Amino acid sequence: MFSKLMPQEVKFFDLFNAHAELVVQGANRLAILVADLGDGADGLAGHAQVIDEIEKKADKITHDTVALLHTTFNTPLDRDEIHQLISKLDDILDLIQDVAESMHLYDVRKLTQESRQLADISVSCCERVRSAVSLLSNMDNAPAILKMCQEIDQLESDADRVMRTGIIKLFREETDVRELIKQKGIYELLETVTDRCEDVANIIEGIILENS
């Protein structure tokens, strides 16, 4: 399937791939931000700015995809699938941006090992999203794509466990209530990045089931 796609149809996959690449860039920058704060560094605003710039580039790709959808008669996937996929990809980067902005607004000065773990898991999830998206143009890749989706599901479960462990430690060890609230909020936001990746995986699994 998709072996005789017209140029306009191929462009959808190019846009998906470009957006997924930006998702990984945003996740990597977030992981650097979290690691720097864990070491007591002061580069939060700079990292947040870079993430903002990445998110704006992704917004343009989302806009271009929707515009192309409105002007293309034959699409390689169901129109609703295309819209859902690009929207869910955008949701990942929006949330990554929310994490960085929340750290800035909360004036977070330190982060825990659990936050680092969650950021690293988020990167792994986003990398698998990129890999799955890159294979979508050929349904012969269905087994590999489904394997990536399963790995995303597993990583999301891992993030749940790390978040719960971190929150338990906070309530046992953190005596400053304001700090507890800040850290708990960051844990929850970081874990939700993996939830949004799982949303993309679910969309992709649906595409595979309908088209393979």
List, for residues 16-46, the tens digit of each pLDDT value: 999 999 999 999 999 999 988 855 555 678 8
Give per-residue pLDDT as tens, 169-183.
Answer: 999 999 999 999 999
Burial (CB count within 10 angstroms: exposed 0-12, middle 13-18, buried 19+), residue 96: buried
**Of 49, 166, 87, nearest in space to 119 by CA:** 166
C-alpha count within 13 angstroms, C-beta hemisphere, residue 171 = 6
Residue 8 has pLDDT above 70, yes or no: no
Q: Could you give the percent of the chain with pLDDT greater than 90?
A: 78
Is 26 in contact with 96 (CB distance < 8 Å)?
yes
Query: What pLDDT is stored for residue 3 in this prediction?
Result: 44
C-alpha distance across the termini of the chain, in Å: 8
Query: What pLDDT is stored for residue 44 in this prediction?
Result: 78
> Where do the domains of the chain lie?
7-211
The answer for residues whose C-beta is within 8 angstroms of residue 59's C-beta and 6 or more apart is 90
Which class does domain 7-211 fall in? mainly alpha
CA dist., res. 19 & res. 13, Å (int)? 10
The answer for residues whose C-beta is within 8 angstroms of residue 118's C-beta and 6 or more apart is 34, 159, 162, 163, 166, 187, 190, 191, 193, 194
Query: What pLDDT is stored for residue 9 in this prediction?
Result: 64
